[in-house]
Amino acid sequence: MDFSEPPTKETLDGARRRLAVTRDAVGQLSTKINAAEATLAQIVQESQYAINELQAQRAELQKQVAKTMAYLSPIRRLPLELLREIFMRSFEDHPCSAWVLAAVCTSWRRLALRIPLIWSKIRLLTTQHASADTIRLWLERSGDTTPLDIEIFLRVASSKKASDASSHRPRRTASPLTPITPPWNLAFGGQQLSHYIVAPPPPPPPIGSMPIVMPPSPPSHSNDGWSPPLPHHERPVNAVSRVSMHWGHIAFFYLVEQMHRWERFVFRFDKQFTSMGALKSINGDAPILREFEVSSVEAAFFAEWPWLPNANSSSSVVLPRLRSLTLQHTPFKWSSPMLRDLHTLNLRGLPTSHLPLDRILHILSNNPDLKSVSLHFQGVLPAILPLASLTLPHVTSLTLGGHYLLTQLLESLTLPVLDSLTLDIEARDAIEDIISGLLTRSNRPPVQNLSIAYGVAANAANFYYGPGGLVIAWTALLAELPHLKTLTIGGTSLEPLLTTLGYPEDDPNQSQTLAWACPALEFLGLRSCHAHNEGVTKLVQMVEARNPDNGAAQAVGGVTPTRLARLELYECSSLGEDVMKWLDSRIADVLCVDPAADR
């Protein structure tokens, strides 16, 4: 395009005419382009529709292929009798497997719902904010006659407190060990988490290593009438509050209705909760009940509930098979018919409970076939009636804790087959003479486990065991325990104990035959044991004598001691990195936690 300069009237008119022609040409080309793009879009749309149709047909065919392959699967040809046997084997290993099996497919669900036995073990870890309908559904699916094995653990304390409690870790450890005298395991009862249905926590749900297993919701063809509750964050705030207030009443309404089917009943909770009064409804006959436990971690204050452990001695209570009873921080009467003919008895009294010593002995005398006894009472009154001697010929494990008057109970007992003795009693006087008297009266049973002041009592601030502890004359006491394999001691002086356990030495003030103390000892645990300047030295000498670098320890009197396999030192003395490294080289498992003042 050539335009003359300067523009004239004629050139300007020519430019205007050319501009109009050019614009007409651009408009025509734009129309053609739009038409071509519309045609292309139509072609793409039709092609995409055709592709979608083909993909839908392919997906349908793939579904048919999957269904056909599933139909041709060998497990389809498995007889229902064998599939039922597989379900039963899975139930034996994993009590909650019925929830998973019922969610696989329609046929498996129908079969699972026709086997009440695989729903007979209730393993529920829950909170009071969760729905109690899970318990109802579990009970309904277990049928009408199947015996019930129930374990329900209620978490009331906040997760923050739980995390704070678990944040303390040992500073040094040679290998992963369980904590020294671990606290009562409320959550899992010593079993794996996978064996429990875990109720959902309040939102937002924590993301962690613990799986959250929920009961699968039934499909529409199910006729059990259950649907999962609304998620916590979708419920109104007042609705959540009502759930937490009434959880116990709803849950125990369903549970007590089936009390005639209880074979085992275990209910544990970590602290008081709003609907705790629902426990009062546990009353009536339980003709097949073998084990009963209601335990609280927190020591609370209760009135006397009109429930089964508080029944009068004249009450007609049908409990012909009850052999194991555990009541921790819950009310009970010493004369209750429930406290008779037991094999295992575990009682931890309330802070407000003050039983006379003769009534505690009466509880034991009502159970002549006892095998395991654990009694802990903070409040004990002097005996009203004279204490009579009592022989329990089958008791292998005895645990006494709490008030110092319980030592008088120990003086009344004879235990000819005692294997394990645990004492966590308030300090008043040394108790080695009491233990020696028990062993003498019992014809020196082969005690293999001894624990003194190692549990809760050793950690309580108001328990002070004095400069020597509950035992002063270690040599005389340990000489009477040649079969001892486990020794755990708290609140004592390190040097006398370690000297006794070390290489036997002559005592110029006494004439005696040299012998190893506790030659079968394999595990030594020390908690809050104070040491003087030679404490660490005595520890090294004891380990050197029992676990020499090469070969076995030196024989004394024809006896060679067993090598120590495990050593625990909890807030006793700062050992130092070099001593820890040396201990690791001599003992397979070593756990050392420095005193709080050194951390």
122-to-125, 149, 224, 250, 256 alpha-carbon distances in Å: 10, 6, 18, 16, 14
CA–CA gap between residue 244 and residue 132 (Å, rounded): 10
Residues 506-518 pLDDT 10s = 665 555 678 899 9
Residues 569-590 pLDDT 10s = 988 878 888 889 999 999 999 9
Q: Is the pLDDT of residue 209 over 60?
A: no
> What pLDDT does 176 receive?
28
Do residues 370 and 347 make contact, with C-beta atoms less than 8 angstroms apart?
no
Mean pLDDT for 216-243 is: 45
Residue of higher predicted confidence among 419 and 317: 419
> What pLDDT does 252 receive?
93
Percent of the chain with pLDDT strictly greater than 90: 51
- Sole residue written with tokens 């309330």: 350
> What pLDDT does 544 receive?
92
Q: Is the pLDDT of residue 363 over 90?
A: yes
- Mean pLDDT of the chain, nearest integer: 82
> What pLDDT does 84 receive?
93
CA–CA gap between residue 522 and residue 588 (Å, rounded): 11
Per residue, what are the HEC states of 52-113?
HHHHHHHHHHHHHHHHHHHHHCHHHHCCHHHHHHHHHHHHHHCCCHHHHHCCCCHHHHHHHH
CA–CA gap between residue 576 and residue 578 (Å, rounded): 6
CA–CA gap between residue 165 and residue 158 (Å, rounded): 11
CA–CA gap between residue 563 and residue 520 (Å, rounded): 8
How many distinct helices (H) and strands (E) make up the chain? 15, 20
Query: Under DSSP, is residue 8 helix (H, G, I), strand (E, B) or coil?
Result: coil
Q: Is the pLDDT of residue 479 over 60?
A: yes
Neighbours of 242 (CB within 10 A): 12
Reported as a pLDDT band with limits 50, 70 and 90, residue 295 is very high
Residues 186-204 pLDDT 10s = 333 444 455 777 776 555 4
| Range 212-218 contact pairs with CB under 8 angstroms and sequence separation of 24 or more | 213/96, 213/99, 215/99, 215/134, 215/137, 216/99, 216/100, 216/102, 216/103, 218/102, 218/109
Mean pLDDT for 288-314 is: 86
Residues 147-175 pLDDT 10s = 999 999 998 866 444 444 433 444 333 32
Closest CA to 549 of 507, 503, 587: 587
Q: Where are the beta strands (DSSP E) in 417-519?
A: 420-425, 449-452, 486-490
- Sole residue written with tokens 């003086």: 411
> What pLDDT does 33 receive?
95
Do residues 483 and 446 make contact, with C-beta atoms less than 8 angstroms apart?
yes
> What pLDDT does 512 receive?
63
Buried b (16+ CB within 10 A) or exposed e, 192-205: eeebbbbbbbeeee
Longest dimension (CA), the chain: 145
Domain limits, the chain: 12-72, 79-118, 119-158+185-276, 448-506+513-599
Residues 234-276 pLDDT 10s = 445 455 566 678 899 999 999 999 999 999 999 999 888 888 8
Buried b (16+ CB within 10 A) or exposed e, 110-146: ebbbebeebbbbbbbbbbbbbbbbbbbbbbbbbeeeb
Query: Under DSSP, is residue 553 helix (H, G, I), strand (E, B) or coil?
Result: coil
> What pLDDT does 471 receive?
80
Residues 38-77 pLDDT 10s = 999 999 999 999 999 999 999 999 999 998 988 888 888 8
Residues 122-133 pLDDT 10s = 999 998 888 888
